[in-house]
Amino acid sequence: MNQGITEAQFLDQYNPKDYDSPLMTVDIALFTLHESTLQILLVERGDHPHKGRWALPGGFIDLKSDTELHDTAKRKLREKTGVDVPLLEQVNTIGNARRDPRGWSVTALYMALVPHAPTAEFIETVKDARWWPIDEVRKLPLAFDHAELVHLARERLKNKTAYTVLPIHVLKQPFSLTQLQQAFELLMDATLEKKSFRRRILNAEILEEVGEGVPEGGRGRPTALYRPAKNSEQYLFTRVFGDAVSS
């Protein structure tokens, strides 16, 4: 193949355009909690292919400005949400010959969960993007195989949540344990037992009590409010829930 030449000579001769390569994209499933629903950010495609359909934010790598794969993901999210998403989790990479009409295509799927507030006003200004409640997404016409990608990300989110204290950093602070439990339940799509939930969360020592607040619904016993303890970042990947989920 390249006998008898040095590596420098080889690189000199090499031109990537001499070879066929697939399309390479990045897609991001960005989730948030708002008004007691789990929501996902979708973008209405303005270009072919699949013009007019809803899609996950994402796109091609900019070989000049991006130096890491997740730089592309961060850049695309910044364009659509106006904020920098710190924790991007890679979910899966899907590649085949039929998912994009333009030909062989590979996409790296990322996932993140962000608080709703900081993004809300900005997204209104991006006319082709909006938050969709996750339950309504299956009624939408989605581009490419994005219905499948949404499903993969949603499953990962369920699992991830069971293993981490992730929702703590998504709620408006301070929050009550009831609110925190509701957040966990939304993300995990499961019902948690109240006493077990409180035991685990409090034993983990990741919360700090900061006073009292009004209960859900305005009436009833006042509730204790909490915020993440200073050292709670380090517990971000602590296992908090086991099999303590019913469906």
94-123: which residues touch its own copies (CB under 8 A)?
Answer: 94-98, 101-104, 106, 108
Q: Does 48 bind its own copies (CB under 8 A)?
A: yes
196: contact with DNA by CB under 7 A: yes
**Among its own copies, DNA, none, what binds residue 198 when CB lies within 5 to 8 Å by partner kind?**
DNA
Q: Which is nearer to DNA, 37 or 178 (CB)?
A: 178
Amino acid at 179: Q
Q: What is the rounded distance in angstroms from the CA atom of residue 69 to the CA atom of residue 138?
A: 28
- Residue 83 interacts, among DNA, its own copies, none and using kind-specific CB cut-offs from 5 to 8 Å, with none
Which residues touch 179 (CB under 8 Å, ≥6 apart)?
171, 216
**CA separation for the pair 164, 89 (Å, rounded):** 13
If binding is defined by CB under 8 A, does position 4 make contact with its own copies? no
Among residues 134, 182, 187, which one has the least CA distance to residue 164?
187
Contact status, residue 149 vs residue 109, Cβ threshold 8 Å: yes
- What values do phi and psi take at 210, rounded to 5? -130, 20
Kindly state the tokens that stand for 140.
């939408």
Q: Does 46 bind its own copies (CB under 8 A)?
A: yes
Residue 11: which of DNA, its own copies, none does it interact with, CB under 5 to 8 A by kind?
its own copies
> Is 213 a binder of its own copies (CB under 8 A)?
no
The DSSP line for 30-64 is EEEEETTEEEEEEEE--SSSSTTSEE-SEEE--TT
Number of residues that bind its own copies (CB under 8 A): 42
Residues 175-194 that bind DNA (CB under 7 A): 176-178, 193-194
Catalog residues that contact its own copies under the rule CB under 8 A. Answer: 1-2, 5, 7, 10-11, 14, 16-17, 19-24, 46-51, 60-61, 63, 66-69, 90, 92-98, 101-104, 106, 108
Catalog residues that contact DNA under the rule CB under 7 A. Answer: 176-178, 193-196, 198-200, 203, 215-224, 242-246
